Structure 1
Amino acid sequence: MPGSVLVAYGTTNGSTAQIAEAVTEVLRKAGLTAEARPAGTVASVESYDAVVVGGGLYAGRWHKDARRFVRRQGRELARRPLWFFSSGPLDATASERDIPPVPGVKKAMARLGVREHVTFGGCLEEGAKGWVARMIVRNGKGGDFRDFTAIEEWAARVAADVQEEPERR
């Protein structure tokens, strides 16, 4: 059974990292070997059977580390089962309806054969890095809109898909 899964992520204030850690924990509980790593620290994906990539959304774009990772590792990512998630809306919309991927992510999905993409609510709280982020919080538009039940349910589907992979060959 293949079972080595990388969960790579791009984050500025840590919210997407916490989602990646939650996904990783579910994968481990399902019996897979999984690790969450900042996308900028991953030199190669060759030792992984499957990959999940997550990026925080900033001004309609995925975090630069997630974008760069996908570009750098594209050839190897295309050879593996691959899932994407985005983190970002600072309201309840991600819990209320499916939010499609932003254009750059959609393009990468088509190029790499991504199996699924999901957008989770984001989190922006006091102490956030960046002038824009601080202004959002100061204007009362911040908060934690992550739904960890939905995150765990999605991760369980990913785990089941990874475990079924040998049967597809």
Structure 2
Amino acid sequence: MADNVLVAYATKNGSTAEIAEAVAEVLRKGGLTAEAVPAGSVTDLASYDAVVLGGGLYAGRWHKDARRFVRRHRRALTERPVWFFSSGPLDASASERDIPPVPGVRRAMDKLGVTEYVTFGGRLEEGAEGRIARMIVQSGKGGDFRDFAAIESWAERVARALGGQRVR
């Protein structure tokens, strides 16, 4: 059983952080120790038995902190179970079908032997950082497209794979 799980995340406007917190909470309910931490602040993986890494998608690329996390911790990530998730589509597509990883994430998955990947809908609302993000919101294409029931269901699968208890 993997007792201590890192849920690292890379986010610009906080949506991916909230998904990571929800994942960590489900893992804790499953009897595991889990903490959600910004990917850029992680210096060592030695105390973690498993890793969940999430990154926001921006213009078809994973957030730079998620990409840096993979490069910085490549060796340690190959030595433990790893799950990836992305957040980003600003529509219902992530709830309607599986969305494959963007090419850069796919390459990292192949190198690391990632256990599972999923894409969740994103959130972009008034006050978002970045010129393009503000333009998207102003054009009426923003909103919150995260499906927390799907996020929790996926996190339960991760918990069970790590030997945690059934949450529901």
Please give the TM-score of this superposition, normalised by the length of structure 1: 0.96
What secondary structure, in the 3-state scheme, does the structure 2 residue paired with 1:7 have?
strand
Alpha-carbon displacement from aligned partner over 1:37-81 (angstroms, at most 9, x marks no partner) = 000000011110000000000000000000000110010001000
SS in 2 for 1:118: strand
In the other structure, the counterpart of 1:22 is 22
Percent of matched pairs sharing the same residue: 74
Instruction: State how far apart, in whole Å, the 2-side matches of 1:2 and 1:127 are.
Output: 39
Count of residue pairs brought into register by the alignment: 164
Kindly provide the CA deviation profile for residues 76-103 of structure 1, in whole angstroms up to 9, marking residues without a partner as x: 0010000000000000000000000000
The aligned runs of 1:19-168 (5 Å cut-off) are: 19-163=19-163
For residues 45 and 60 of structure 2, the distance between their equivalents in structure 1, rounded to whole angstroms, comes to: 27
Amino acid at match of 2:158: V
Q: What CA distance in whole angstroms lies between the structure 2 residues aligned with 1:28 and 1:39? A: 19
CA distance in 1, matches of 2:99, 2:129: 25
> In 2, Cα distance between the equivalents of 1:46 and 1:89?
33
Runs of at least 5 residues in structure 1 that lack an aligned partner in the other structure = 165-169
Calculate the TM-score normalised by the size of structure 2: 0.96
Cα distance between partner residues in 2 of 1:137 and 1:153 = 29
* SS, match of residue 51 in structure 1: strand
Shift of 1:127: 0.2
Question: For residues 41 and 163 of structure 2, what CA distance do their matches in structure 1 show?
Answer: 26
Q: CA deviation at 1:2?
A: 2.7
CA distance in 2, matches of 1:2, 1:72: 22
Mapped partners of 1:43, 1:156: distance in 2: 27
Q: CA RMSD in A?
A: 0.7
- The DSSP-based 3-state class of the residue aligned with 2:162 is helix
Q: Which amino acid aligns with 1:115?
A: T
Unaligned runs of 5+ in 2: none
Cα deviation 1:9-30 (Å, max 9, x = unaligned): 0000000000000000000000
